[in-house]
A and B are shown apart, each in its own frame.
Chain A
């Protein structure tokens, strides 16, 4: 299902970029430090001034008790609406310094979208569903995109020129963005491969709390025998 959402979004972007077909395109492949495709990673480009695209309103849906998309990249000053597609209520909040807000228990779409006016990472949670985790990456860069599950990302209608590349992923240390160097884009499609200092997620076992002395008892009993 998320695939179709991404695809729709992708199509939307293409439509938006259509007028400037003459411009440059960037096709990038994002991988983690092990070389595996890295999804939900954000790439943002700081390019020649002007020609910046209009900031579109953002949308962070909640479906099947998950934030969709997991990572939403928005330009500073974007208002993001938090529609609730589930038939239960959610209590979306964030204590992140970039944006503190709280949408008390609601159903459907809340009355007002939330304005993200400070660049930074806003971590989203749901007070009644602890496992719900989402990120809104607020950036001043005019061009940005989020990688799909294959780690691919494509930016079109870029004015040719020189760009500074930033990379981000939720699992980067201290959630700080990683610089991606500079990039000279000409007309046509460019292909790039970026590696992020992210290690493949290891599924943490959801076990009982572990004590430090369980082994001590076992050892003592073994010794006694």
Chain B
């Protein structure tokens, strides 16, 4: 359709143009030839009229000469003088015969006809003749035309002088059909002579055909003479001559030139023009179609290529060897195709690959895993995470971290078996997909990799050892879809952080635990506002005095669905997810509120509470605490903040500053869980603490002979020498308490004294305990 319309348009425009040109040419030629024909005809008419005139004049002169000779003939004069009519007539006839004159006449000086060789000339005709002769005589004309009877005569008169004029003689030629034919012979013009006489039929002499003559006769009589006349299918250009006019008669000559015949000469030209026009039309039509085809076919071809490119096929070969614009269009299309293919490949690569390491990304990893599952191949996933990546980033900077990841990627890649693949999932997590591999083989491979990764990475001038953990999940054992497998490997990796080998196979059910964790993490954020949190207070016994003046506030979470959640479960979650600070803040305020409430009832208790690592590096903490102290009118001395050594270690400078600020406001500081971490006396010495809590793991099974006893006893001694009070946690047996008392430990805390109690219960318990103690003292 497109091709057709394009072709048709080109062809019709060309043909239309050509038609206009041909039409203009034809009209121009027609006009020119018509004008030429007319001009030529007019010229021929003029020439013809000259010839006609010459012919008449020549005849006239011939007559004139003859009549002169006759008039000068002495014998003739003598004959005239003799007045013998017969003699005169014979003499006239004799001279007339010499030049084939049709009539010879003698007239006397007043014009009356005396003798004539033509018997028809007599009577009225003779009278008219003599009048004409005299008229001509007066005009000085000697040669003239006149109709006489049924013929037209060319007449010449002269006088006979002896030596004065004694008579006139006149000779006449008949102007007849032969004369007209002769003129036609000479000029190729048709001649019509018309003589009208009063009272007599007109005389017509013509070389035209009879019907034409009749038509002409009709038209002449009806109207004035028209230059162009149509006579029996022929057009004539005419010239009218009034040759003679007199009383009662007239002689007219009409010269005709046939325009139709003249135009016939150009008929060939017309035919030629028509032929040329036809040929040009056909040629241009053909040319236009060829041209259009020549253009439209490649365009069609290119359109098809473009369509296929649009559908994503970039391998279309464009077979077009042309040097014109279409050729360059084809070349452009070809290079466009290559460019699109290249860019699309790049885009696809970017979509499925990690920009930093060039490794496949999570999407591609899932896809590959999916295809392995679909194929039913046994596959193991190693989910690799870096425990200390944040620290590496901090010490090496972002660029150093990136370099470390790149090196790690290369190292892992180098260690892969054929068929295995490596992907980078997110920042510091990689995934190895091990083909034809079960969990046991995966563990072996992970172990090998673990060894490999113990070698430090060289980042610039520094050596870095990454704390890599591996979570392992395998298909089909641990799941049958890529997402589950990946998630479970991830869970295993998280769990691996707690394992000494930093490696964990996915444990069935861990998924549920994870779900619970997710729930807890989500709900933990709004727990402080929704009143699900509460504090339990565990009494701390002053061993020396046997009195209880202190308690540790312990956070409890009453989850609306899950019920009471153990702090051991949600505190680490809060620490990981960053909501621990909100919890701490709530705890601090709740403790102060409680202390204020108890103070109203005259109950003074020193409460210790736990400050998280994240709180320790919050420079705003001392200020907020001071504000709350003011708000609740609680003396700072009633508060003890328990911190862990490791918490201080994370950012010692900032943490020490915070501690010192807190201490400056009068709050007591205690080192919690002493002995579990990398305890450093130097560090301990720098911390502005007044108390040290020995971890319950040392106290619970305390026995005089155990290793713990040595540690506990020396810790108590060391602390005392440092000026620190010592609190023992987890005291469950009387025996342990006795030992602690013996070792002069300052404070004991544990189930032996009391489990953690709600505020109300603690208040009651404390009342009863002091009552009993008092009774004991008094008794």
Interface residues of A (CB under 8 A from B): 93, 95, 100, 123-127, 130-133, 208-214, 216-217, 219-221, 224-225
Contacts and interface: CB of A to CB of B under 8 A. Distances in A.
A224 B242 CA distance: 13
Interface string B21-53: 000000000000000000000100110011011
Contacts of B241: 213, 216-217, 220
Nearest to A217: B53
A133 B164 CA distance: 8
29 contacts: A93-B162, A95-B77, A123-B164, A124-B163, A125-B161, A125-B162, A130-B163, A133-B164, A209-B61, A209-B142, A210-B143, A211-B142, A212-B143, A212-B244, A213-B143, A213-B144, A213-B241, A213-B244, A217-B50, A217-B52, A217-B53, A219-B242, A220-B240, A220-B241, A220-B242, A221-B46, A221-B239, A224-B227, A225-B42
A95 B244 contact: no
Nearest to A127: B74
Given A123-B162, A224-B239, 7 more contacts: A95-B78, A95-B80, A133-B164, A210-B143, A211-B57, A213-B145, A216-B241
Contacts of B304: none
B156 interface: yes
Nearest to A131: B163
Contact of A132 (B77, B140, B163): B163
Contacts of A132: 163
Question: What 7 A-B pairs have minimum CB-CB distances, sorted nearest first?
Answer: A125-B163, A212-B144, A211-B143, A217-B53, A95-B81, A209-B64, A213-B243
A215 B52 CA distance: 13
Given A212-B136, A213-B53, A213-B244, A123 B163 contact: yes
Contact of B49 (A100, A127, A217): A217
Nearest to A224: B239
A127 B72 CA distance: 9
Interface string B142-170: 11110000000000100001111010000
A221 B142 CA distance: 23
A130 B78 CA distance: 15
B622 interface: no
A134 to B, nearest CB: 9
A224 B45 contact: yes
Contacts of A214: 53, 57
Contacts of B53: 213-214, 217
B164 to A, nearest CB: 5
Nearest to B141: A212
Given A95-B162, A95-B166, A217-B241, A209 B74 contact: no
B360 interface: no
Nearest to B142: A209
Given A130-B161, A216-B242, A220-B239, A210 B46 contact: no
A125 to B, nearest CB: 3
Nearest to B74: A127
B140 to A, nearest CB: 6
Contacts of A211: 56-57, 60, 141-144
Contacts of B46: 221, 224-225
B81 A100 contact: yes
B707 interface: no
B156 A209 contact: yes
A173 to B, nearest CB: 12
Contacts of B243: 212-213, 216
A118 to B, nearest CB: 16
B4 to A, nearest CB: 60
Contacts of A216: 241-244
B399 interface: no
B139 interface: yes
A221 B49 contact: yes
Interface string B222-250: 00000100000000000111111000000
A225 B80 CA distance: 49
A133 B165 CA distance: 12
Nearest to B45: A224
Contacts of B78: 95
A123 B166 CA distance: 11
A113 B724 CA distance: 215
Nearest to B54: A217
Nearest to B65: A209
A18 to B, nearest CB: 38
A125 B162 CA distance: 6
Contacts of B77: 95
Contacts of B161: 125, 130
A210 B163 contact: no
Given A209-B64, A209-B142, A212-B145, A130 B72 contact: yes
A127 B77 CA distance: 10
Contacts of B166: 95
A100 B77 CA distance: 13
Contacts of A125: 161-163
Nearest to B242: A216
Given A217-B241, A220-B240, A224-B45, A133 B163 contact: yes
B141 to A, nearest CB: 5
B141 A210 contact: yes
Contacts of B164: 123, 133
Contacts of A100: 81
A209 B240 contact: no
Q: Among A95, A208, A211, A217, which residue has the most Cβ atoms of chain B within 10 A?
A: A211
Nearest to B255: A220
A171 to B, nearest CB: 11
A129 to B, nearest CB: 9
Contacts of A208: 61
Contacts of B64: 209
Nearest to A125: B163
B459 to A, nearest CB: 117
Contacts of A209: 60-61, 64, 142-143, 156
Interface in B49-86: 49-50, 52-53, 56-57, 60-61, 64, 72, 74, 77-78, 80-81
A100 to B, nearest CB: 7
A100 B60 CA distance: 34
Given A212-B139, A216-B243, A224 B42 contact: yes
B67 to A, nearest CB: 9
Interface in B85-141: 136, 139-141
Contacts of B81: 95, 100
Interface string B537-578: 000000000000000000000000000000000000000000
Interface string B161-192: 11110100000000000000000000000000
A126 B64 CA distance: 22
Contacts of B136: 212
Contacts of B162: 93, 95, 123, 125
A26 to B, nearest CB: 30
Given A133-B164, A220-B239, A224-B45, A213 B142 contact: no
A216 B166 CA distance: 32
A124 B49 CA distance: 46
A131 B163 CA distance: 8
Nearest to B68: A209
A60 B89 CA distance: 35
A51 B448 CA distance: 204
A213 B250 CA distance: 12
Nearest to A134: B163
B45 to A, nearest CB: 6
Nearest to A208: B61
A8 B52 CA distance: 60
Nearest to A175: B164
A123 B635 CA distance: 195
A18 B672 CA distance: 214
A40 to B, nearest CB: 15
Nearest to A205: B140
A216 B164 CA distance: 33
Contacts of A210: 140-143
A213 B162 CA distance: 30
A181 B105 CA distance: 43
